[in-house]
Amino acid sequence: MASRLWKTANTVAVWAYRATGGKVGGSARGCPVLLLTVTGRTSGRPHTVPVGYVRRDGSYYLAASAGGAPAEPQWIRNLRRTSTATIQVGRQTHPVSVEVLRGADRDAAWNDVVVASHPFFAAYETKAGRRIAVAKLTPTG
């Protein structure tokens, strides 16, 4: 039941974002939101989800915080299995290359980009009890 409710809420959020060009659903807690479309690692079908981001040096950084939930969001698992995805920012759609950061690159992006821009993310790692993955998406078009 909870899974069905979550999927319905996601469908509504994506629809509202697209219908309004991001005027509805385009930010959460002061963090801008984009739509990420990535191919499912097992289904092979595209999945679209709203995700908060930080823009830095032409790339988009996404923290797989899931609001501090213990389990990673599915979208980061899908990004680990691909080198490309698509994002929609407002009304603009961009193909992007995908890099899920590791080691010192992940730590620098987490501290200097994500947490520095939106300090509330810092508490998510403690709440989740896991190291939160960070993906760097760079427009290719």
Give the pLDDT of residue 28. 86
Q: Which domains does the chain have, with CATH numbers?
A: 2-139 (2.30.110.10)
Q: How many helices (H) and strands (E) does the chain have?
A: 5, 8
- In this predicted model, what pLDDT tens digit does every residue of 22-45 receive, in sequence order? 898 887 888 999 999 999 999 999
pLDDT tens, residue by residue, 63-93: 999 889 999 999 999 999 999 999 999 999 9
Q: pTM of the predicted model, to two decimals?
A: 0.92
Check if the beta carbon of residue 115 is closer than 8 Å to that of residue 122: yes
Of all residues in the chain, the percent with pLDDT exceeding 70 is 99
